[in-house]
Amino acid sequence: MTEMLRIADLRAEAGGREILKGVNLTVEEGETCVLFGPNGSGKSTLLSTIMGYSTCKVTEGQILFKGQDITGMSVDERARLGIGMMMQRPPNIFGVKLGDLVKASAKNREVIGQAANFKLGEFLDRDINVGFSGGEIKRSELLQLTAQKPEFILLDEPESGVDLESIDLIGNKVRDLLFDPASGSERHVSSLVITHTGQILDYIGADRGYVMKEGVIQRTGNPADLLRNIKQNGYGE
Ligand SMILES: Nc1ncnc2c1ncn2[C@@H]1O[C@H](COP(=O)(O)OP(=O)(O)OP(=O)(O)O)[C@@H](O)[C@H]1O
Ligand SMILES: [Mg+2]
């Protein structure tokens, strides 16, 4: 099995503070791994560092994607290699229409025609995220990922703040991205998913769970067991 992602002894700063304090984590080909952890523990910072956002500065350690060291690469280089991300709080992009971005990044031009399936038919002419509601932003992020068709997907709380009906839509669309359409039961795309509630896992399943606390991976295990334990006992001392 190919190793898609390896994070080795990763330390990173944001806003001049060290947030990631020696993170070790791997995701194998076809795996979905879940990242749990209390608010402020560094989960989004880890995903942003993997994607290469300039707000996060690596001070030590390595990020390997399919064996290649990508630690010093730019965001667009990482995107071209096949890494995509659904952000927790993406920025407003004034002056760029959602439809234009989707068209520019789409490997398959037909994605634009799918906007209605994401309940975004009326949004293609709007500036990206400007005035979008919380749930609309999630669907827009997912439409963009569907256009990009990455090989490895970072999902930061895809279901948080989403109404129950739209959770179904988001869960099924994420499933479409990860699973091979021919077999329907085998994952052909790997992912690292942050969730507090585990709701998204009802749609995509998960192979392995990690719990992050204070900038390090504190525990690893079966995702369902970890979630049950967190619900019963919290995140512990
Ligand atoms: N640019 C920044 N400047 C200062 N502090 C930052 C910056 N980015 C992140 N932090 C801090 O780093 C810590 C980790 O933030 P992060 O967003 O990674 O947490 P999280 O685990 O994703 O939390 P949540 O579950 O609430 O989304 C927080 O205390 C946050 O305030
Ligand atoms: Mg976060």
Task: Please measure the distance between the N-terminal and C-terminal CA atoms of the chain and give it in whole angstroms.
Answer: 36
pLDDT given for residue 108 in this prediction: 65
Q: Which of 23, 43, 196 to mutate to test the pocket of ligand 1 (most atoms within 8 A of CB)?
A: 43
Domains of the chain and any CATH numbers: 3-85+149-233 (3.40.50.300)
Given the CA of residue 45, which atom of ligand 1 is nearest to it?
18
Separation between Cα atoms, residue 191 and residue 30, nearest integer Å: 8
Cα 18 to ligand 1 centroid, rounded to whole Å: 10
Q: Kindly report, residue by residue over 73-114, the tens digit of the pLDDT.
A: 999 999 999 999 999 999 999 999 999 999 888 776 778 888
Q: What is the pLDDT of residue 237?
A: 62
Which residue puts its alpha carbon closest to atom 31 of ligand 1? Answer: 40
pTM of the model: 0.96
**Other beta carbons within 10 Å of 84:** 24
Q: What is the CA radius of gyration of the chain?
A: 17
Ligand 1 centre distance from Cα of residue 138 (Å): 19
Ligand nearest to the CA of 46: 1
Over residues 27-76, the pLDDT tens digits come to 999 999 999 999 999 999 999 999 999 999 999 999 999 999 999 999 99
- Predicted pLDDT at 224: 96
**Mean pLDDT over residues 206-235, rounded?**
96
pLDDT level of residue 225 (50, 70, 90 thresholds): very high
Q: What is the mean pLDDT of the chain?
A: 94
C-alpha distances (whole Å) from 15 to each of 18, 57, 84, 90, 99 are 8, 9, 24, 18, 33
Tell me what pLDDT residue 189 has: 95
Q: What is the pLDDT of residue 113?
A: 83
Residue 35: per-residue pLDDT: 98
Q: What does the pLDDT read at residue 230?
A: 96
